[in-house]
Structure 1
Amino acid sequence: MRSIALLCMLLLAGPALSADRTARQVFDQEIERNAVQAAVWGIPVVNYDLMRQEMLEKTPGKVGQVIYWGRPLDWRNQTLTPNPDALYFMVFFSTKDGPVVLDLPPAEEKASFNGNIVTAWQLPLEDAGLLGYDKGKGGKFVVLPPGYTDKLPDGFIPLQSEVYGGYMLFRSNLASHGDADVHASIDYGKKLKVYPLSAAANPPETVFSDVKDVLFDSTIRWDASFFDNLNRVVQEEPWISRDRVMIDQLKSIGIEKDKPFEPDRHTKSLLTKGIKEAEALLEAKYDAGLPPFFSEKSRWTFPAYPDLIKAMQSDFAEQDAYPVDHRGVAYSYAYIGIKRLGAGQFYAISIRDKDGNAFDGGKTYRLHVPGNVPVQQYWSVTAYDRQTHALIKNVARASRSSQIPELVKNGDGSVDLYFGPKAPKGKGTNWVPTDPKRQFELMFRAYGPTKEFFDKKWVLSDVVRVAAP
């Protein structure tokens, strides 16, 4: 009799247990799925916060101060696709205590800069410098906190931000990589000033810290720590109206404003699965290729999806467009936002050779750069690690540039560049080393591109594989 009673109890409990088990699976799937979406949506601010935390944890620099690299960037700078042919100055700012002034110097006879000012979301506020808003005149750019309505004093350039945090990237241009030109570029960069608007009548001295010897690694961490960075910014910044749909999705993974983010072991395992799925998704989209630039079959592509470029230049104001997925891809391999892409600078990316094969660091390749490149400033080509999108570690140099006096030119003014683990015989000056154990990718930079560049009257050749030296 007891056996029959027990059997009846188990039969009655069975469906409930099965339902509970199914519900748990469904809720776990929700967390994992929302973690993927949160990663794709939040990668611009995580990218920003990783750089900021590297500054705070590894350098003397603080928010409102300037860190700079006192030589052309080498592999110790592990930011995403940086330019090793300019002197980098970077300042992180916060307007929680009021507007912040970025007082930028005018161009000089042998000195100029290209600058970009962005929010914590890396939404471009303005481009500055020789080909920026100020056209080389310099200016006092003022980043305003959300909701700021006070009138500014005459002579200040207002930049209204949706959030409190942000940063500026100031590239002090180089005449060459020679010591004298590097020192001149540093001296010029140190003419920029950062101070609160409230102290404009008597600005304090701007603090500069040289971080050239710091291993500055802000590459994306594809693990559960990604969500710690995301939570930090969510706690600091106000919600932007267009992003309020994410409030509940983030809550489901444990990120909620004014509450601690303390996922248990099980939730952390789901977040780890989610971030790995996001990594695979973004990588697959990047590997599928961006739209070609120079021709329909060119292996050189736009630096980002055209709809994203358009949306960022309009401050995401279009009613029927919000390319969050494309933004997620872009900030998985790059950082900074450019207000007027093509005015001061333009980039083209190549991840495959002419035959459509991925670049192999153990093989040798040649890039033919036709003469008379239509730029007002300079052009360069940089090799990056294909997986991390940062400069290839432990190599002597990362790029070749038209600023290099010793660059060997052909009789018609064109240049042949080589990429591979060893320099072809007699080609060392025009060679960029690669890691034979890793794949790589290339970025072509045009600073001050002219109309001829965008009319495609000048076309950059595809990269071809050549016999090993």
Structure 2
Amino acid sequence: MRKRYLTAILASTALCAFVPAAHANDRAVLTQSQAEELARDAYIFGAAFVSNYRVFISLLLEGSPLMQGAGFNEFAHNREPFPPETADTTQRDTLFSLGIIDLRREPIVITVPDVPDGESYMLQMGDTSTETLPYISTLTTDNKAGDYVLVGPEYQGLLPADRFDGVITTRGQFIVMLGRTTLNDPNDLSAPHAIQDGMQMRPLSAILSTTPPPEVPEFDFLPWDAEKANGIGVFDYINMALAWHPPAISELPLMARFSKLGVVPGEPFPAEDYSPEIVAAIEDVIAEVNEAFEESTTSMGAMSGNWRWDVSDVSRFGTDYYRRSATAHKTIYPNAPDHAVYGQTYLDSEGNQLTGASGATLRFEAESFPPTQDFWSLTLYDAETTAMYPNPAERYKVGSKTEGLSFAEDGSLTLSIQHEEPTDPEQRSNWLPAPEGDIYLVLRLYGAEPEVLEGNWAPPPIMRR
């Protein structure tokens, strides 16, 4: 039988050749107001690339312990859940597997194993612009083993279509992978470890037994400097990152316009071409946009009662560059809602700040448990530390996988959220321990059912005791 071939997306980077580089005399004729307008638009377009680079360089180049010494195109499997005292609203639902994928030399093949019923995983990948690529997950593979090839913008070869279970193309040369494998039993990690052990990253040439392409030169990554990134120097980071992410055809006019300011992929930003007055004006614009990002992310997302509950897709942005950069500013790489929906609240049903001292209850009626294909969890956090609350009971969350919960005769479940241990045995079974001070709750639905995604289910209110 004749082998079929699938042509990958070809030479997207060639589009960069059409982006004109502006000269110093072009910038010399810019008025202050013109420079401010260009800087505002270019920064809104490029800020997400900088947010991505900050994560990228932290994980790979600054020796993050999460990477466990792994380099490009290697899985870094974290074998234990986050300790409860870890800040930044981490979770203990899954074990993380991280990776930084370099597609400059050739495509990378991601292999996943057969996964037993009741177990699950998802591999989320974000490109240089923070756009989420198609998932490789329990939902997309039906837990079957497979090989999935990730193809970057410079690849010009042919792929045997019947050799792979999926082809994912991207304009990004560097991809950040955030893998999560479900932790069903915190006392037995053998099942998620087996899934992690079955995951591989390999170059295409190793899979096809062909001669690998020539090695690509090492890249001189800019060291991260927070002060520089908050000033006009941010455009050096933007120019560097844009060289790893060729523009779409629809973006070429934007690139041509931004080049008048000096925003040109792969080129140093010519800050020295501007007067001190214009530099100060551009830096004021950057500060104003960052403040707007902060304000918009504070109010971002729909509300359901006093829950911030948004089932819209904030993992892919199209041409909404402001939303892309504002999202990356606060919550980089949000999940696609069909894979995970998160809700958060600091308030009870009457709008009062939740505290462990005052206590609260959350009741799920028998017919209104969170509808999921996988599972749900409710995790409690200390509002001061943004960490889970270390407690003698070692209970940091409750959910559909929690054993020993006490259900009422009508099938409902009432959770007790408070600092003091309940004396009633049933309430103790359903106790979510809290510090005395301010707290917040995060409800996570993994594999939400269509009724959630269609807006026909929302979390019940938190009732003050």
Q: TM-score, normalised by structure 2?
A: 0.71
1:179-190 equivalence runs, <5 A: 180=188, 182-190=189-197
Match of 1:286 in 2: 297
1:13-412 equivalence runs, <5 A: 27-28=31-32, 31=35, 34-56=38-60, 57-59=62-64, 60-74=69-83, 83-109=91-117, 111-132=119-140, 134-146=141-153, 148=155, 150-153=157-160, 154-156=162-164, 157-178=166-187, 180=188, 182-201=189-208, 223-224=230-231, 227=235, 229-247=237-255, 250-251=258-259, 255-261=263-269, 263=271, 266=276, 270=281, 272-292=283-303, 297=305, 299-304=307-312, 312=316, 316=318, 322-336=319-333, 338=335, 341-342=337-338, 344-350=339-345, 352-356=347-351, 365-371=360-366, 372-382=369-379, 392-393=386-387, 395-396=389-390, 399-406=397-404, 412=411
| 1:431 and 2:439 are equivalent in the alignment | no
Partner Cα distance (1:35, 1:129) in 2:
39
**8 Å CA contact retained: 2:396, 2:432:** no
What fraction of aligned residue pairs are identical, expressed as a percent? Answer: 17
| Offset, 1:414 | 1.4
| 1:449 and 2:457 are equivalent in the alignment | no
| Offset, 1:202 | 6.1
| Offset, 1:38 | 4.0
Aligned length, in residue pairs = 403
Which whole-Å deviations, capped at 9, do the CAs of 1:84-122 have from their partners, x for residues lacking one? 310110111121111111111221245331222332223
Match of 2:4 in 1: none
| Offset, 1:44 | 3.3
Q: Gaps (5+ residues) in structure 1? A: 1-22, 204-216, 317-321
Q: Which moved more, 1:53-62 or 1:325-334?
A: 325-334
The 1:259–1:232 alpha-carbon spacing in structure 2 relative to 1, beyond 3 Å, is: closer
Match of 2:8 in 1: none
The 1:378–1:165 alpha-carbon spacing in structure 2 relative to 1, beyond 3 Å, is: same
The 1:137–1:394 alpha-carbon spacing in structure 2 relative to 1, beyond 3 Å, is: closer
Q: State the superposition RMSD in angstroms.
A: 4.2
Q: For 1:62, what is the secondary structure of its paired residue?
A: coil
Q: For 2:133, what is the secondary structure of its paired residue?
A: strand
**8 Å CA contact retained: 2:73, 2:101:** yes
Q: For 1:288, give the aligned amino acid.
A: S
Partner Cα distance (2:360, 2:227) in 1:
28
Q: For 2:307, what is the secondary structure of its paired residue?
A: coil
The 1:287–1:440 alpha-carbon spacing in structure 2 relative to 1, beyond 3 Å, is: farther
Partner Cα distance (1:250, 1:75) in 2:
45
Q: Gaps (5+ residues) in structure 2? A: 1-26, 211-223
Q: For 1:151, give the aligned amino acid.
A: L
**8 Å CA contact retained: 1:107, 1:138:** yes
The 1:162–1:382 alpha-carbon spacing in structure 2 relative to 1, beyond 3 Å, is: same
Match of 1:210 in 2: none
Q: TM-score, normalised by structure 1?
A: 0.70
The 1:452–1:247 alpha-carbon spacing in structure 2 relative to 1, beyond 3 Å, is: closer
